[in-house]
Amino acid sequence: MARVVVDVMLKPEILDPQGQAIAGACERLGFSGIRGVRQGKRFEVEVEGEADDAALAEVRRMAETLLANPVIEDFSVRVE
Amino acid sequence: MTARVGVVTFPGSLDDRDAARAVRLAGADPVPLWHDDPDLKGVDAVVLPGGFSYGDYLRCGAIARFAPVMNELVPAARSGTLPVLGICNGFQILCESHLLPGALTRNRSLRFVNREQAVRVESTATAWTNRYTEGEEIRIVLKSGEGNFVADDATLDELERSGRVVVRYVGEAPNGARRGIAGISNEHGNVVGLMPHPEHAVEELTGPSTHGLDFFTSLLAHLADTSPAAAAATG
């Protein structure tokens, strides 16, 4: 069994009010040097067998079909 | 024959009963449809109601899009034959299904907006708005946390150019929606999605107005125009 991680982020041009709110909180709490925050999602996908090319292709297909909305989000797939 | 209008209930749908009531008040027969049943029961049109289908898990509408009931609905809607109205969560489901372009994201304010909202009907060339007049302002309920409509500039320009912006917020968009867009249609005009709720504005007793009722009477006019009998009469 292997673990494949899918990270999903709003595209850079899409407004992220949650990230902005977090950045605002950082400033209030005194965390210095924070220029901006964008919030995304991390999916940990357990696959059967090895994370070979076929398995990664399947996860990639799953990411673009279900995990991410390609209209507003980008995703990346990696083995961890 | 009385028109039969399906109203889909997903786990977490809230406004299916109100949608069915609006359908009935407009003079059609509401037909309950269940998310897990692929059968559309031969209905003439479908309403995807508001609520929080599947708890809004993943993204609003992202799971509902793959419900068995959508198997028959999506191709029939895409082909232009089946009229579909998506209200609030229903609009989100239509965008996730790629029946409508763009996406609905978190309100710019991060606050759930719950209020009477003035919107302007900008297109009457749809199955669901033909009884309004272009530019008419109506007052209906808006209640959503993820109603911020986004799409890239090219998509927005195309929507505007082809007259597919169906309703727009009057004044500043309360959720940050791009170009104040509250609702859009597909290229055939049979699929319409909007964030505010016409089905809550169909009776004086319970709504801010009765301005929403004409979404449903428009459908009946559309069905009468496109029925086989009407086609035969016009030859």
Q: What is the CATH number for B79? A: 3.40.50.880
Distance separating alpha carbons of residues A51 and B149, to the nearest angstrom: 37
Domain count within chain A: 1
A67/B58 Cβ within 8 A: yes
- Indicate the burial class of A28 (C-beta count within 10 angstroms; 0-12, 13-18, 19 or more): exposed
Q: Which residues pair with A73 in a beta bridge?
A: A10
- Mapping DSSP onto H, E and C, the string for B24-93 reads HHHCCEEEEEECCCCCCCCCCEEEECCECHHHHCCCCCCCHHHCCHHHHHHHHHHCCCCCEEEECHHHHH
- Is residue B29 within 8 A of residue B23, CB to CB? The reply is yes
CB–CB contacts below 8 A, A to B: 34
Q: Give the helix/strand (H/E) hosting B6.
A: strand B4-9
Mean pLDDT, range A40-61, rounded to an integer: 96
Report residues of chain B scoring pLDDT below 50.
Answer: none
Could you read off the pLDDT of B132-189 as tens digits, one per residue? 999 999 999 999 999 999 999 999 999 999 999 999 999 999 999 999 999 999 999 9
B176/A15 Cβ within 8 A: yes
* pLDDT score for B217: 98
State the pLDDT confidence band at A52, using cuts at 50, 70 and 90: very high
ipTM: 0.90
Chain B, 194 to 233: residues with Cβ < 8 Å from chain A are: none
Q: Give the helix/strand (H/E) hosting B220.
A: helix B213-226
What are the catalytic residues of B? 88, 197, 199
Q: Is B125 helix (H, G, I), strand (E, B) or coil?
A: coil
The minimum CA-CA distance between B83 and chain A, rounded to whole Å, is 24
Phi, psi of A60 (to 5 degrees): -65, -40
| A67 interface with B at CB cutoff 8 Å | yes
* pLDDT score for B162: 98
- Indicate the burial class of B152 (C-beta count within 10 angstroms; 0-12, 13-18, 19 or more): middle
Q: Which residues pair with A75 in a beta bridge?
A: A8
Q: What is the CATH number for A18? A: 3.30.1280.10
* pLDDT score for B200: 97
Distance separating alpha carbons of residues A27 and A4, to the nearest angstrom: 34
* pLDDT score for B1: 76
**Domain range for A42:** 2-79
| B148 interface with A at CB cutoff 8 Å | yes
Domain count within chain B: 1
Among B207, B182, B211, B227, which residue's Cα sits nearest to residue B83? B227
**Domain range for B123:** 4-234
Looking at chain A, the whole-number percentage of residues with pLDDT higher than 70 is 100
A21/B151 Cβ within 8 A: no
* pLDDT score for A1: 85
